[in-house]
């Protein structure tokens, strides 16, 4: 991790593995995401945007973070390998224990990993959405390995916001704005 890397606190790769699932997200070097309104100086760099929450994906190198408003959240953009769509980490992490294991019953272990339960799922008491206790997206992504190591854990996956893709009549992907 280079000293001049504004995203040095974010992982280069994020691996998601479950019983019949294996995904790898790789950090893009030529894109970044701005969570919130885009500063005027960066409006020409915007490739596409999400409305809820407001996130703008920009092409190019990240400007010096000291030049941006201090309350602005800037994150890397990841790509689902191989050659998949781009994803922007939201900071939420989805977990699922074995079906007989209640998330609420494992709350102390989840908190010991640095997370809090953001949303319990009444229809699936063995699954939940989590957020890092400090609310930091990099902290959430780096904490995935700790959650994965908990007993009875079946799935740990960061929420990655992606553009919708529609198939054209010949079956090839065609991007649609979010």
For residue 178, pLDDT over 50 is answered with no
Q: How many CB atoms are closer than 10 A to CB 118?
A: 14
Q: Predicted confidence band at 76 (pLDDT cuts at 50, 70, 90)?
A: very high
Mean pLDDT for 83-90 is 94
Dump pLDDT digits (tens) for 12-35.
999 998 877 889 999 999 999 999
Q: What is the pLDDT of residue 4?
A: 64
For the entire predicted model, the pTM comes to 0.86
Q: What is the pLDDT of residue 137?
A: 97
Separation between Cα atoms, residue 97 and residue 109, nearest integer Å = 12
Helix, strand counts (H, E) of the chain: 3, 11
């Amino acid at each position: 991790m280079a000293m001049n890397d504004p995203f040095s606190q974010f992982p280069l790769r994020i691996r998601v593995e479950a019983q019949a699932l294996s995904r790898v997200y790789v950090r893009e070097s030529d894109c970044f995401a701005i969570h919130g309104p885009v500063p005027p100086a960066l409006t020409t760099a915007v490739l596409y945007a999400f409305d809820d929450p407001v996130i703008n994906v920009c092409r190019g190198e990240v400007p010096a973070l000291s030049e941006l408003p201090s309350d602005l959240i800037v994150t890397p953009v990841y790509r689902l390998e191989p050659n998949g769509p781009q994803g922007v980490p939201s900071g939420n992490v989805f977990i699922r224990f074995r079906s007989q294991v209640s998330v609420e019953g494992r709350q102390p272990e989840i908190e010991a990993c640095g997370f809090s339960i953001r949303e319990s799922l009444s229809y699936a008491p063995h699954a939940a959405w989590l957020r890092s206790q400090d609310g930091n997206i990099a902290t959430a992504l780096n904490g995935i390995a700790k959650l994965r190591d908990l007993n009875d854990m079946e799935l740990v996956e960061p929420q990655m916001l992606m553009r919708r893709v529609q198939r054209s009549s010949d079956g090839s992907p065609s991007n649609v704005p979010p």
